[in-house]
Amino acid sequence: MFVALERLINLEEGYRRTFQVGGRSVLLLVLDNQPLLFEDSCPHQGAPLSAGTLSGNVLRCMRHGIEFQLPSGRALQSSCPGLNRLKLVYDGDRIGVDV
């Protein structure tokens, strides 16, 4: 089942917003004009990534400073697994996920 998150016309560089999908929080952001969708939870200790800082293509968790390279979600510190990136689906003028 397709769950729409946003209209494509609203996805501009710097866009960042969280949504609840299937009981979990997800983070939709646009980097280099590419929409990206991740679970909104740092794999280190579960802090919301939506509260983190984005500098260039590096997302930094606000709780312990763990950094992730985007768009891959790879952790820059070897002690932490990478982010869980979710597949985006397009339907007409909307972007979302299949659940």
Q: What are the tens digits of pLDDT across the range 32-77?
A: 999 999 999 999 888 999 999 999 999 999 988 999 999 999 999 8
**DSSP 8-state symbol, 56:** T
Q: Which residues pair with 16 in a beta bridge?
A: 29
CA distance 26 to 22: 10
Which residue type occupies 68? F
pTM: 0.93
pLDDT interval class at 27 (50, 70, 90): very high
Domains of the chain from N-terminus onward:
2-89 (2.102.10.10)
Residue 49 phi/psi, 5° resolution? Answer: -70, -20
Are the C-beta atoms of residues 42 and 24 closer than 8 Å to each other? no
Q: Count other C-beta atoms under 10 Å from residue 37's C-beta.
A: 21
